[in-house]
Amino acid sequence: MKVAVLAPVAWRTPPKQYGPWEQVASNIAEGLVNNGVDVTLFATADSITTARLDAVVERGYEEDRSMDAKVVECLHISNLMEKASDFDIVHNNFDFLPLTYSGLIRTPMVTTIHGFSSPAILPVYQKYNNTSTYISISNADRSPLLTYAATVYNGIQVNDFQFGEKPQDYLLYFGRIHHDKGTAEAIEIALKAKKRLLIAGLIQDSRYFADKVKPFLNEQIVYVGSAGPKERNELMKNALALLHPINFAEPFGLSVAEAMLCGTPVIAFNRGSMSELIVHERTGFLVANISEAAEAVSHVTTLNRLECRQWSAEQFSQEKMVKSYMEVYKKI
C-alpha cells in the first residue's frame, strides 16, 4: 500500500514548538512507516521524517512571514494532487481546500477533520461528502450534515512523555495564549486556589496577552514562553495538574492527552471533547466554572497519577491511531 500523507505548511512537520495538525500528520506518517507502509509525506522541506519527503515549500509560512500563505498552500496541495495516481490513498490533514481536487483524481482521499474553524466552511465539506472519506477526531466534533467513516482519536508517541510520580507544587497552563484556550481563566483559578501557575505557549493574540495576562505576571503567575518537546515534558511531568479552562468546544486537545501521559491530572471546563479525553474524578475533573476548578485543585492529589498515564496510553497512543487508520484504508 502506498500512502500520501498531506500535512499543513504553516509550521515544520513535526513542529519545533507549536503546530498541532503538523504534529498529528507526523505521528500518522511515522506510525504507518513503522507498520511497513510505503509512505510519502508532503510537508515543508525542513520537515523530519522516516518516510519519503516531497516538498515544494522550503519552510512554514508562519516561520517565514515573507511568504504569501495562500500561494504556498496552492503550490503545496497541487504538488501532491498532480502525483495522486502514484498512490493508493491520499490522507489529507490540511482542512477543506484539498477537497476541491477530490472530484478530479481517482485516488481515494481520507480527510481527517481536525476541527471546524467556522460554520462557513461546512458547504465545502458537504459538497465533497461523497468523494472523500471523513474522519472525526472526537465524537463531539461531528457535524450532523456530514457522513463519517470513523472517529479516530489523535495518537501520541507514548515514549516521548516521561511519567512524573512526584509532582512539584505548581499548576500548568499549556497552550496558545488566546481567549479560546482560557489563559485568563487559568490565572483566576490559580489565584483562587492560591497556587503557583506556569504559563507556556505561543502568544497568538498579543492584545489579549497585554490586557489579560501580562498585568498578573509575578512570582506566583509566571509566563515561561513557548516550550519545545524537552521543555514540555519537564513542565508536564512535574505539574500538580494541567488547567484547561477552554472557552470553545475543542475538537480534541493534544495537551490534555499529553499531560495525562506524564501522569498529570487535568482540570478542564466540560466543553467539546473533554468528556471523551478525561475520566471525571479518575484522570482529572470536568468542571463548569472557575470556582469549581479552584475547588478541584484541592482534590488532585487524591487521583492516581499512574492511572492517568495508563488511560492516556491505552486511548491515545500512536499505535492505536495508526491501526484505526489502516482499517479505514483497507475498507476503501
| Strands lying side by side in the sheet with 133-136 | 52-54, 38-42, 2-6, 89-92, 109-113, 133-136, 148-151
Q: Within 13 Å, how many C-alpha atoms sit on residue 145's CB side?
A: 11
Domain count, the chain: 2
pLDDT at position 261, please? 97
Residues 165 and 261 in one domain: yes
Q: What is the band of 228 on the pLDDT scale with cuts at 50, 70, 90?
A: confident
Rounded-to-integer distance, Cα 202 and Cα 17, Å: 8
Report residue 286 as a C-alpha cell.
470536568
Hey, is 213 helix, strand or coil? Answer: helix
Residue 117 has pLDDT above 90, yes or no: no
Residues 94 and 25 in one domain: yes
Residues 168 and 104 in one domain: no
Residue 105 has pLDDT above 90, yes or no: yes
Rounded-to-integer distance, Cα 7 and Cα 188, Å: 36
Q: Could you give the percent of the chain with pLDDT greater than 90?
A: 96
List, for residues 48-58, the tens digit of each pLDDT value.
Answer: 999 999 999 99
pLDDT at position 103, please? 93
The continuous run of DSSP H or E covering 286 comes out as strand 284-287
- Convert 91-112 to b/e letters by CB count within 10 Å (16 or more is b): bbbbbbebbebbeebebbbbbb
List, for residues 10-25, the tens digit of each pLDDT value.
Answer: 999 999 888 899 999 9
Residues 166 and 297 in one domain: yes
Residues 201 and 140 in one domain: no
Domain containing residue 242: CATH number: 3.40.50.2000
Q: What is the band of 111 on the pLDDT scale with cuts at 50, 70, 90?
A: very high
Residues 88 and 118 in one domain: yes
Q: Domain span at residue 187?
A: 158-315
Residue 143 has pLDDT above 90, yes or no: yes
Residues 147 and 169 in one domain: no
Residues 178 and 304 in one domain: yes
pLDDT at position 146, please? 97
CA dihedral of 121, 131, 19, 3, whole degrees rounded to 10:
-170
Residues 101 and 30 in one domain: yes
Round the average pLDDT of the chain to a whole number and report it: 96
Rounded-to-integer distance, Cα 161 and Cα 66, Å: 35
Is the peptide bond between 14 and the residue preceding it cis, with omega within 30 degrees of 0? yes
Rounded-to-integer distance, Cα 120 and Cα 224, Å: 36
pLDDT at position 150, please? 97
How many C-beta neighbours within 10 Å does residue 301 have?
A: 11
Residue 130 has pLDDT above 90, yes or no: no
Residues 12 and 146 in one domain: yes
Residue 131 has pLDDT above 90, yes or no: no
Rounded-to-integer distance, Cα 66 and Cα 82, Å: 26
Residues 202 and 126 in one domain: no
Interval 81-105 mean pLDDT: 97
Listed in sequence order, the residues at least 6 apart from 219 whose beta carbon sits closer than 8 Å to its beta carbon are 196
Interval 114-135 mean pLDDT: 93
Q: Could you give the percent of the chain with pLDDT greater than 70?
A: 100
Q: What is the band of 302 on the pLDDT scale with cuts at 50, 70, 90?
A: very high
Residues 224 and 198 in one domain: yes
Residues paired with 284 in a beta bridge:
266, 280
